[in-house]
Chain A
Amino acid sequence: METFYHVFQQSLNFAIPLLIVALGGMFSEKSGVINIALEGIMIIGAFTGAMFLAAVRGNEFFSANPQLKFILAIILGAVSGMIFASLLAFASVNMKADQTIGGTALNLLSVALVVFIARSTNPNSTKNVEFGKIPSIKEVPLFSKIPVLGDMFFKNVYISTYIGIIILLIAIVVLKKTRFGLRLSACGEHPHAAQSLGVNVYRMRWYGVLISGALGGLGGVAYIIPTTVGFNGTVHGFGFLALAVMIFGQWKPLRILFSALFFGFFSAMAFAYFAIDFMNAFADFLQKMGIDNPREIIHMIPYVATMVALALTSKKSRAPKASGIPFEPGAR
Chain B
Amino acid sequence: MPDRGFVKNALSKTETFFKELPQKNSFKIFVSVLVSVLIGLFAGLLILLIFNPRNSFRAFGGILAGAFGDPTSVLIGIGDWFYYATPILLTGLSVGFAFKTGLFNIGAAGQFMVGQYAALMVAFYGGGLGSFQWVAALAAGILAGALWGFIPGFFKAIFNVNEVITSIMFNYIGMYLTNLLIKSNLTVYNQARTETHKINTEAFLPKFGMDKILPGSRADIGFLIAILVAISMFIILNKTKFGFELKGVGYNRHASRYAGINEKKAIILSMAIAGALAALGGALKMIAPGAHNVGNTLTVEEMLAPEGFNGIPVALLGLSNPVGIIFSALFITYIQRGGFFVQSLVMIEIIDIIIGVIIYFSAFSLVIRLFFERRAQRKRTEAELEADELKPEGGEA
By a beta-carbon cutoff of 8 Å, the part of chain A in contact with chain B is 36, 87, 91, 95-98, 100-102, 104-106, 108-109, 111-113, 115-117, 119-120, 125, 237, 240, 243-244, 247, 291-293, 296-297, 299-300, 303-304, 306-307, 310-312, 314-315, 317
Contacts and interface: CB of A to CB of B under 8 A. Distances in A.
Nearest to B155: A311
B248 interface: no
Contact of A112 (B177, B184, B352, B364): B352
Contacts of A243: 162, 164-165
Given A102-B360, A108-B359, A307-B166, A120 B347 contact: yes
Interface stretch (B255-263, B309-317, B383-391): B309-317
A108 B184 contact: no
Contacts of B165: 240, 243-244, 247, 306, 310
Contact of A109 (B171, B309, B360): B360
B372 interface: no
A300 B177 contact: yes
A299 B302 CA distance: 11
Interface residues of B, number: 45
Interface of B: 47, 51-52, 104, 106, 155, 159-162, 164-166, 168-173, 176-177, 179-180, 183-184, 309, 312-313, 316, 347, 349-353, 355-357, 359-360, 362-364, 367-368
A306 B166 CA distance: 8
Contacts of A87: 360
A64 to B, nearest CB: 34
Contact of A293 (B171, B180, B316, B362): B180
B183 A109 contact: no
B169 A307 contact: yes
B100 to A, nearest CB: 14
A96 B364 contact: yes
Contacts of A303: 169-170, 172-173
A300 B159 contact: no
Given A112-B349, A113-B353, A247-B165, A91 B180 contact: no
A91 B360 contact: yes
A95 to B, nearest CB: 4
A307 B344 CA distance: 44
Contacts of A300: 172-173, 176-177
A97 B357 contact: no
A291 B52 CA distance: 50
Nearest to B356: A109
Contacts of B316: 101, 104-105
A140 to B, nearest CB: 36
Contact of B183 (A115, A240, A244, A293): A293
Nearest to A108: B356
Nearest to A246: B165
A108 B364 contact: no
A228 B137 CA distance: 40
